[in-house]
Amino acid sequence: MPIISSPQDFNVEDLYVDLRPVLGCPLYLKCEGFNFAGSVKLKAAAQMIDAAERDGSLTPDSILVESSSGNLGVALSIIAAARGRRFVCVTDPRCNPATMRLMRALGAEVRIVSRTDAAGGYLESRISYVRELCASDDRYLWLNQYANPNNWLAHYHGTAPAIDRGFPGLEVLFVGAGTTGTLMGCARYFRERRRPVTIVAVDAVGSVTFGGVPERRLVPGLGTSSRPALVDESYVDDVVHVAESATIRTVHRLSAHGFLFGGSTGTVVSGAERWLAAKYPGADPVAVAIAPDLGERYLDSLYEERWLRRHFPDLVPDLFPGTAPGPPADAPAEATADDAARDLTAVTDLTDPRRSRT
């Protein structure tokens, strides 16, 4: 019987879903969402904070600050609350409203940057604001998940060994690429042990991480508009890019079988299914995919008919049988995720960190 005194002390490490009945292909899904943060990001958050406390950069007066599209922000909010620390999450309008509310419920301060960067995303704008904030007050400490080696070390020491124990005959590992912390940690682990495991990175169409053409993306989680400093392609054997429409179809396909997963998981599963069909047709390799998150925080977006009608109208007839394609009607209706995000946005287009000094 586990008894804990800190929320980061609990994490289900050995739960896998056999997706054969759903997909018809050999794929085991490692579920990383069963902890108090609801995602794999709890590992990186704990490792980065612990390291900052050990090296003295995180002092009693420090105010943690991080750029996040959601999951890491929740993880940092939880640990900061447990340790009595202050935390500022700098995010953007793509962050799920439920995620914003959750961070605020945990005592974090959420600041939303709505200015897009040169690649059409928000990452560079978020990072620019974080840098300005840190320059304005030396109490702010940026953990910098995009370049912090403790991000990938969390998975080198935790996630990868757990997979290795569970699947000693592992042949293929699918890992989603965001900051690439999970990807690099797992890839380094298996490469350094000379294990014959094919590492397949799964990225979003519109992401520039692996040299893709930048495009507007609506699903938070995987993909970047600025190449992460952590990524080292020499550790990656193949890359699959997944369109957001495929992500959405996949999460609905999984939910139809009782598995409610988030957008990042939908992207990874969709990419893994396509890759296995192309590389191992009719074969039965030992393949594992990492599911970073669960789906509750996407109920106002990926699973919401009005949101889908607004952004992916062609998908609606397939996902909601009996309905017609097209944008939502102009008549008043319940608030959408976009409306909720606007309601939650206290400050947008943040440019002057002195306005936000605490």
Task: Encode pLDDT of 319-352 as tens digits.
Answer: 998 776 666 655 333 444 444 444 444 434 444 3
Q: Which residues pair with 31 in a beta bridge?
A: 291
**For residues 219 and 247, is the Cβ–Cβ distance under 8 A?**
yes
The model's pLDDT over 105-151, given as tens digits with 9 standing for 90+, comes to 999 999 999 888 777 778 889 999 999 999 999 999 999 999 999 99
Q: Which residues contact 2 (CB under 8 A, 6 or more apart)?
A: 10
Helix or strand run (H / E) with residue 302: none
- Residue 322: the pLDDT is 74
Segments of the chain with pLDDT less than 70 = 324-358
**For residues 29 and 289, is the Cβ–Cβ distance under 8 A?**
yes
Residue 269: strand, helix, or coil: helix
- Residue 1: the pLDDT is 78
Nearest to 85 by CA among 65, 112, 100: 65
Q: Which residues contact 179 (CB under 8 A, 6 or more apart)?
A: 44, 72, 145, 146, 151, 224, 228, 230
- Residue 329: the pLDDT is 56
Topology agreement, domain 7-34+149-298 and domain 41-147: yes
- Residue 325: the pLDDT is 65
Nearest 5 degrees, angle CA 286-CA 26-CA 319? 145
Ordered by start, the domain boundaries in the chain are 7-34+149-298, 41-147
Nearest to 209 by CA among 158, 160, 175: 175
Look at the domain 7-34+149-298 and name its fold: Rossmann fold (3.40.50)
Look at the domain 41-147 and name its fold: Rossmann fold (3.40.50)
- Residue 223: the pLDDT is 83
